[in-house]
Amino acid sequence: MDIESLIVEDLKRQIFRVHRSVMTSQEIFELERERIFNRCWLYIGHESEIEKPGDFRRRDVGGRPLIFIRGRDGVVRVFHNSCTHWGAKVCRLDQGNANSFQCFYHAWTFNNQGDLIAIPDAGGYPKDFNRAELALKSPPHVDNYRGLYFVSFNPDAEPLSDYLGGAREYMDLILDQSEAGMRVVAGTQMYTVRANWKLMATNSLDTYHAPPLHTTYFSYMAKFKGLDYEAETNSFGIRDGGRGLSLGNGHGVGESAPSGVARPIAHWHPMFGEPARDEINRVRKRIFDRFGPERGGLMCDTFRLFLIYPNFVFHDVMAVTLRYFEPVGPDAVRLTVYAMAPKDESKEQLELRLNNFVSFLGPGGFAHPDDLEAIESCQDGFRSREVEWSDFSKGMNRDPEVMDELPMRAFWRQWQAQMLGRDRATRFDDLKVTGNGVAAAGK
C-alpha cells in the first residue's frame, strides 16, 4: 500500500485532497490501530468521575477494555479489564464503587489497587507462587492534564504535556472558568454511527457546514429573537470573523465570537429567561476580574471547537462537552458524550446549561443528528468508488478563517505521517505560495 499517494497536497495549485479508500479499507483500519491508536495518548476520563476511593468507570480505549479507578489510597489508576488467570473481564459494570473485583470465571479476586488478593484452592499452587506478577496490568503510561486523564499503550510515548502542545492553552480557557474547578455532569450519551472515525474527527473541527446543515436551529433562533436567518448566522460568529488554527501533533481548533447564543457562562440570552441575567453577569464579572479583559474576553466572548488528536473532542459551544470516539471498523465508530460544568454552578444555571446541551447536541437535538446523518451519508456515498477524492482545500489561498479547512489539513498531515511510521508531520501550519513562487508559512 502506497500511503504517500493517499493524500495530494499541491501548494502551487492550492489543492489538498484525500483518497476515499482511507475511509473504507479494512487494511487501512488495521494499520491505524497499530500506528495511531497504539502510539498516541488517548483520553479515558475526568477525575470528577471517580471522586471517592473505590469509584470506577469501565471504558473501551484504543481497542482495549479498561478500568478507570481511584484506589483506596486515593491514587487514580487504569487497569486492563482482563483477569490475569484466563482472561475474563473482572469488571462487569459500567460504573460503581468497589473495594475489590472478583472474576466470575474462577473467582480470582483483585483489590481496587490491582493486587491479586485471593485465589480459590490456593494449595494447588507452589508456596513461592508470585501473586505480584499476576496483579491486574496497566498501560505503560497513564497521566493527566488538569484532571483530564489519558493513557498511552506506547512504551516510548513522549510526555503528555508535550503531546498536548498548543492545545493546552485552549483547554485552560475552559478549565479556568470556575475557581472551584470543573466536573463531568452525571449522564452519558452513547451511540454507534455508521461512518469512519475520521469523518467524526474532521466534522468536529468543521464550521463550514454549520449554516447549510443546521438551518433548522438557526431559523428557530432567528424567529425566537425576531431576526432573519442571515442575521442569526452572522450573530453566531460563523460567517464573519473567527479563525481556524493547527495546534501541533494533529490537534486543531476553530474559534469564533458569538453575540450571545452560545452558553450561559458567556452571555445572557432571552432563551435563558430574565432571572438568569444577574447570575450570568456575576460569573462574567468574576472571570474578567480574575483574568483581565483580554483573557476574560477569550473565555466569555468566544466559543471553540477543538480536537485533541486523534479522537478526543473538547467543545465549548452551546455547552462544554467532552466527546471521544472509539473506532469499531472502517465504517463504524462508537461515540461517548458528556457535559461538563463548574463545580460551584447553581442548580438553576446547571439546568439551563444541560437544557442547552441537550437541545443542540443531544441525540434528539437541533444539530448533532444533522451531523450524524451527514457523515453517514458521506460513508454511503463512498460506495461510488469511481469518485476517488475528498477535497480539503478551502482557505489555502488566504490567511485562515474559521470556516476554512486548515485544522483538517493539519489532522490529515499527522494521520499520514503516523501511517508512514513517523511520530509527527514535518509541519502543522499551511504554506502559502508567494508571488515569486516561494512557499511561506501561513499564520
3-class SS of residue 171: helix
Class of residue 180 by CB neighbours under 10 A (exposed 0-12, middle 13-18, buried 19+): exposed
Q: Rounded distance, CA 147 to CA 129, Å? A: 38
313-318: average pLDDT: 84
Residues 203/371, Cβ–Cβ less than 8 Å: yes
422-442: average pLDDT: 65
Give me Rg for the CA atoms of the chain: 23
Residues 51/37, Cβ–Cβ less than 8 Å: no
Residues 237/231, Cβ–Cβ less than 8 Å: no
Grade residue 221 by pLDDT with cuts at 50, 70 and 90. Answer: low
Predicted TM-score (pTM) of the model is 0.91
CATH number for 166-411: choose from 3.90.380.10, 1.10.150.240, 3.40.640.10, 1.10.10.10.
Answer: 3.90.380.10
Closest CA to 83 of 106, 62, 63: 106
pLDDT tens-digit series, residues 265-286: 444 455 566 667 787 888 888 9
CATH 2.102.10.10-classified regions of the chain: 41-152
Residues 257/406, Cβ–Cβ less than 8 Å: no
Output the pLDDT for position 218.
66
41-152 topology per CATH: Rieske Iron-sulfur Protein (2.102.10)
- Please give the backbone phi and psi of residue 65, each rounded to the nearest 5 degrees, phi first: -80, 125
Q: Rounded distance, CA 129 to CA 271, Å? A: 65
Output the pLDDT for position 230.
55
Does the pLDDT of residue 301 top 70, yes or no?
yes
Q: Which range in 240-244, 249-253, 266-270, 271-275 is most confidently predicted, on average pLDDT?
A: 249-253
Class of residue 369 by CB neighbours under 10 A (exposed 0-12, middle 13-18, buried 19+): middle
Grade residue 369 by pLDDT with cuts at 50, 70 and 90. Answer: confident
Residue 199: count of CB within 10 angstroms of its CB: 24
Q: Which of 30-39, 133-142, 289-298, 434-443 has the lowest mean pLDDT?
A: 434-443
CATH 3.90.380.10-classified regions of the chain: 166-411
Scan for cell 460551584, then name that residue: 344
Grade residue 68 by pLDDT with cuts at 50, 70 and 90. Answer: very high
Which grid cell is 65? 477494555
Up-side HSE of residue 21: CA atoms within 13 Å toward CB? 12
Chain-centre distance of CA 59, in angstroms?
15
Output the pLDDT for position 223.
63
